[in-house]
A and B are shown apart, each in its own frame.
Chain A
Amino acid sequence: MHNSKTVEVIVGLFVALGLAALFMLAMKVSNLSTFSGDDGYVITARFENIGGLKVRSPVTVAGVRVGRISNIGFDNTTYEAVVSMNISGDYNTLPTDTSASIFTAGLLGEQYVALEPGGDEKYLQQGGEVRLTQSAIVLEQVIGQFLYSQAEGGGDAK
């Protein structure tokens, strides 16, 4: 058929092509190039209501993605949600009085945690806790409050 040297070269090219495809998927398609998540540190925050937040949702500062949600738990004594966030090691200068809020990207988009840095000179370490939190805005509650205030306003006008 072919001589063995040509065969070896062709098979070598085939294997290289397969590995190149994997490399392309890793670098171009997945998040491996942007954020690995292994070299970071974990901080926690407690929320009264996390809405539709999920594990692997993004964590942002000033709109820039700095990490992701690594775990969501529930505290049986305070009835709060405990959210663990894995922050990339590049962003290790978050002050200890940083606040965390849960926002929605767009009207129907996914929910994410936005961190708002404070003014403290100490930085959050591995296992640190964000104390100032703002829960997710549940759309039904907002609509309910709006209708309620509208009804009240209408009553005053008469």
Chain B
Amino acid sequence: MIGTIRKLGRWGLGGFERLGRGHIFLFHVLMGIPSVIVRFGLLVQQMLSVGVLSLLIIVVSGLFVGMVLGLQGYNTLVDFGAEQSLGVVVALSLVRELGPVVASLLFAGRAGSALTAEIGLMKSTEQLSGMEMMAVDPVKRVIAPRFLAGFISLPLLATIFSAVGVIGGYFVGVGLLGVDDGAFWSQMQAKVDFSEDIMNGVIKSIVFGFVVTWIAVFEGYDCIPTSEGVSRATTRTVVHSALAILSLDFVLTALMFGNI
């Protein structure tokens, strides 16, 4: 009995300790950001591997999500004779929700897991300790550029996702299903507000970018330096990022659109 309670306590304390380590680590990373701006080449290199190489999956999934929205929205709206509003349905669902959330989930799977695996492997092959031996701060040299690159890349990727999705919805709605071209765009422009809808979507993706990259670099830096530890850290990155994105999305949506 006591043993079970003790286990529970140890589990809880371990969780809190990790949470605390995560925040201290985040503080160190943020302190390292000025030195990244000085060494701009490091950031550019990471932007390539984190952002540019995620572009393909983002563009392709954005296109297909937009096309599916176009089809499904049309089927529902045509019953009410309101297929002119298809543009509004596609644009609002992409800009407000699907753009930031789906792009972040894909980003966590594509770039977050890669970041964790890379940093975790650096730790288990003692490259990070090696840097410390040479008086190079690995947080500044390795972690901070990756963190900043992810933080900048995700909002850009989410915006691209939304834009491509709207084009996909346009192809299906106007090209295949015969919605009027002018009504599609004009209804969209009438109902979508720049500051209310588009900027709130961008703010969401900035928050997700911060959280996902933080989780990814922390899991890599904090992993147990064995091959099993790296594999578990990579899994945790994807799971924790997905949970964080979806729960934060609810909180942000409630704050932005919920009139609470």
Contact = CB atoms under 8 A, between A and B. Distances in A.
Interface of A: 2, 4, 7-8, 10-11, 14-15, 17-19, 21-22, 24-26, 28-34, 56, 58, 65, 108
A14 B46 CA distance: 13
A25 B95 contact: yes
Chain A, interface SS category: helix
A22 B193 contact: no
Contacts of A31: 189-190, 192-194
Contact of A8 (B44, B155, B193): B44
Best-buried of A25, A32, A34, A65 by chain B (most CB within 10 Å): A25
Q: Is the interface of B mostly helix, strand, loop or mixed?
A: helix
B155 A18 contact: yes
A10 B41 CA distance: 13
A10 B52 CA distance: 8
Interface residues of B, number: 33
Contacts, number: 83
B188 interface: yes
Interface in B120-172: 152-153, 155-157, 159-160, 162-164, 166
A4 B41 contact: yes
Nearest to A20: B163
B57 to A, nearest CB: 14
Contacts of A24: 163
B185 interface: yes
